[in-house]
Amino acid sequence: MDKIVIEGGFPLRGDIRISGAKNSAIKLMAVCLLTDQQITLTNMPRLRDTRSMGQLLTHLGVEVGEVGASTMTLHAPKLSSSEAPYDLVRKMRATFNVLGPLLAREEEARVSLPGGCAIGARPVDLHLKALEAMGAKIELEQGYVVASAKGGLRGAEISFPFVSVGATEHALLSAVLAKGETVLMNAAREPEIIDLANCLNAMGAKITGAGRSEVRIEGVAKLGGVEHSVVPDRIEAGTYALAAATAGGSVRLTHVRHDHLGALWPLIAQAGARVSLDDSTVLIERGTGRPNPVDIDTQAYPGFPTDLQAQFMALVGLADGVSIIRENIFENRFMHCPELTRMGADITVRGREAIVRGVPEYVAAPVMATDLRASASLINAGLAARGETHISRVYHLDRGFEHIEVKLGQCGARIKRVPDD
Ligand code: EPZ
């Protein structure tokens, strides 16, 4: 297994091209199950998670092809299986979202439950309730969801008790071929949901309201092929913006949708960095001097994203003052705190709140990545730290950040990947 070694204390200077969004790409890949025509996805990030989804789709009988560095083709004239086994689903939770498309196409499916996850219990009850409302019969058997929908799924009114990105996407994927109209109320409004709806509509689906709380889907009998470009990754963009704000320097992000990070820019500016937004680029500049403390409160989109909470904490961990960070989405998403503490941060966790008392500097230490975004916060802290930080378990990073050491290296970071022995 590899580890990342960073010699910190050098400001970042340069351009970083933002890749396609992991959290959109893996859901977009599932649309190939809904048609016998070819799907071509461009601006695809090459990540461990897209590979995991590719493995599952191949198992189901989809022909998965890679063309050049960032184009993927998916073609399923017919499927060879409607079972998603535990070994393929446990690697990545979003693979569970093949359940609805399999039901829509094959009228039956057997999909492993994704199980728990380091950042919280993460149940799938809302997904299953949505499918049941659409007429699916669902049983749980030895860790598997065994579902059938003879005669196909039917449109339904589904009101989510709270906002769930995954359940909204799963309901969308399931409803496009259902008979009649489906109405989703209290739907998630993330840009990745709009991206999925745009792709499905280009295939012939009839979805209106994606990006708003109420989404209407008029079922159609058939969907065709499509070529679709994956939306830029707002979390990758936010992570590098926070890297520049934490380590100092001047970094220009390109191929970015800055309107997807409206909750982040004012807070980075409040922390003391200069943010310049322009068409598809963002320039982040921070000189010497400590950042200002800033409180954050994670919320569903358009609020501050939970997927940037750890990286923001690495920034305000160096602030001249105290910041309160409240995590509202996941109950156990502070695992980076003990690791940042090993680098000298002063953080006290009380339930869903972390009290971060800024310290003048981080000092390098061996640390361990605990989940994808937590790993990114350790990288950002390592870029600012005095000395050589060693981050192990970087397979978490490879799930969601394309060529992170190359992209940061191009900005002058002294970062390398080495075998961990
Ligand atoms: C998506 O997860 C993202 N993952 C997460 O990113 C992201 O943190 C999260 O949305 C919130 O923005 C992908 O897109 C692959 P939810 P998801 O359903 O869909 C609870 C990353 O690092 N819940 O919106 O799983 C759940 O436990 C990942 O890229 C239920 O109780 O998130 C959580 O507390 C991490 N029952 C809350 O809702 C359900 O049936 C929101 O989860 C579903 C969810």
Q: Say yes or no to pLDDT of 409 above 70.
A: yes
CB 106 within 8 A of CB 62: no
307 marked as part of a ligand binding site: yes
Mean pLDDT, rounded, of the chain? 96
Q: What percentage of residues in the chain have a pLDDT greater than 90?
A: 92
Ligand 1 atom at shortest distance from the alpha carbon of 121 = 27
Ligand 1 atom at shortest distance from the alpha carbon of 331 = 34
Query: Distance, CA 331 to ligand 1 centroid (Å)?
Result: 11
Q: Is the CB of 165 under 6 A from ligand 1?
A: yes
Q: Which residues contact 82 (CB under 8 A, 6 or more apart)?
A: 60, 102, 106, 108, 109, 110
DSSP H helix total and E strand total for the chain = 14, 24
Q: Say yes or no to pLDDT of 169 above 90.
A: yes
158 marked as part of a ligand binding site: no
Of 399, 401, 375, 403, give the one whose Cα is nearest residue 389.
375
Q: Which residues contact 78 (CB under 8 A, 6 or more apart)?
A: 36, 61
Q: Which residues contact 347 (CB under 8 A, 6 or more apart)?
A: 313, 317, 337, 340, 341, 354, 355, 356, 357
SS3 142: coil
pLDDT digits (tens, 9 = 90+) for 84-122: 999 999 888 899 999 999 999 999 999 999 865 666 667
pLDDT digits (tens, 9 = 90+) for 225-251: 999 999 999 999 999 999 999 999 999
Of 271, 267, 313, 310, give the one whose Cα is nearest residue 291.
271
Q: Say yes or no to pLDDT of 132 above 60.
A: yes
Q: Is the CB of 124 under 6 A from ligand 1?
A: yes
Region 10-14: mean pLDDT is 97
In the prediction, which pLDDT does 117 show?
61
Residue ranges of domains in the chain, CATH in brackets: 2-19+232-419 (3.65.10.10), 22-229 (3.65.10.10)
Q: Can you list the positions of beta strands (E) in 224-319?
A: 226-229, 249-254, 274-278, 281-286, 296-297
pTM above 0.75, yes or no: yes
Region 52-78: mean pLDDT is 96
* Cα 352 from Cα 297, distance rounded (Å): 10
Region 47-65: mean pLDDT is 96
Choosing from 122, 169, 234 the residue with most ligand 1 atoms within 8 A of its CB, the one to mutate for a pocket test is 122
In the prediction, which pLDDT does 69 show?
86
Q: Is the CB of 120 under 6 A from ligand 1?
A: yes
Q: Is the CB of 167 under 6 A from ligand 1?
A: yes
Q: Say yes or no to pLDDT of 11 above 60.
A: yes
Pair type for strands 226-229 and 38-42? parallel
pLDDT digits (tens, 9 = 90+) for 195-214: 999 999 999 999 999 999 99
In the prediction, which pLDDT does 120 show?
65
Q: Which residues contact 71 (CB under 8 A, 6 or more apart)?
A: 40, 41, 42, 44
In the prediction, which pLDDT does 405 show?
95
pLDDT digits (tens, 9 = 90+) for 346-400: 999 999 999 999 999 999 999 998 889 999 999 999 999 999 999 998 888 999 9
Q: Say yes or no to pLDDT of 16 above 70.
A: yes
Among candidate residues 117, 199, 337, 411, the one labeled active-site is 117
First-last CA distance in the chain: 8
Q: Say yes or no to pLDDT of 70 above 80.
A: yes
pLDDT digits (tens, 9 = 90+) for 317-348: 999 999 999 999 998 899 999 999 999 999 99
* Cα 245 from Cα 265, distance rounded (Å): 11
